[in-house]
Structure formats: C-alpha cells, structure tokens
Amino acid sequence: MLYNVFVYGTLRDADTLYRLLRRNPPMRPARVNDYRKFIDDASGYPMAVHEKGAFIDGALLQGIGNRDLSALDNYEGVHKGLYKRITVPVLVVGSKTPVEAQMYVKGGGEL
C-alpha cells in the first residue's frame, strides 16, 4: 500500500528525506486545516497540535510505502511517544478536493 504524508518541518528537507528513504518522493505544496505548528520548548522540534481555525502550510509526500513509513516513524520518535501519526485531510495547492494523508503531531512521551 502507498500513502501520502503531510510534512511541515525537518521532513521537508530533500537531504533529510534522501538520507532516510534513499530517494526523494514526489512533494507538492499543501495545507492542513485545524492544526497549529509550534516549536516545542523541550525538544526544539516543530510540532503540530489540533486547533480549530488554524492551519499549517507544508508539503505532501506521495508514494510512501510501508518501509518508508517505518523509517519516518523511527525518525520522528513515534515509538518513544515524541510524535504520533494520524490521518488528516490535506489540500494540495491548486486543488479544492482534499486527499487523505498521514501526519505527525505532538505525542505524549518524553525525550
């Protein structure tokens, strides 16, 4: 199965993606509504939390397989609770129809 992944921080960097995935997947400018991005004081990383009326501009990675998703989960510290991965509707710039994507949001774990 292939997934879309919405990214808004360090995963937008082509070098970082290549290091993690050994390729640079297609990336399109996109927006997620009802989430707010902030820099977490404890970790220094960009994170997202649900906030009605807010939005995050980022990018949609396309064609992400299960192995890629595992690499991204590991990078984001999902197993430590730093982030959690959820499914959200994403609007690609120039489109009026949202697509389903995975997104990393603030988890409840400690560093």
Q: What's residue 109's pLDDT? A: 60
Q: Which tokens is 47 given?
A: 């994170």
Please list the pLDDT of the chain residue by residue as tens digits (111 residues). Answer: 999 999 999 999 999 999 999 999 999 999 999 999 999 998 899 999 999 999 999 999 999 999 999 999 999 999 999 999 999 999 999 999 999 999 999 998 654
Q: What is the 3-state secondary structure (H, E, C) of the chain?
A: CCEEEEECCHHHCHHHHHHHHCCCCCEEEEEEEEEEEEECCCCCCEEEEEEEEEEEEEEEEEEECHHHHHHHHHHHCHHHCCEEEEEEEEEECCCCCCEEEEEEEECCCCC
- The predicted pLDDT at position 111 comes to 43
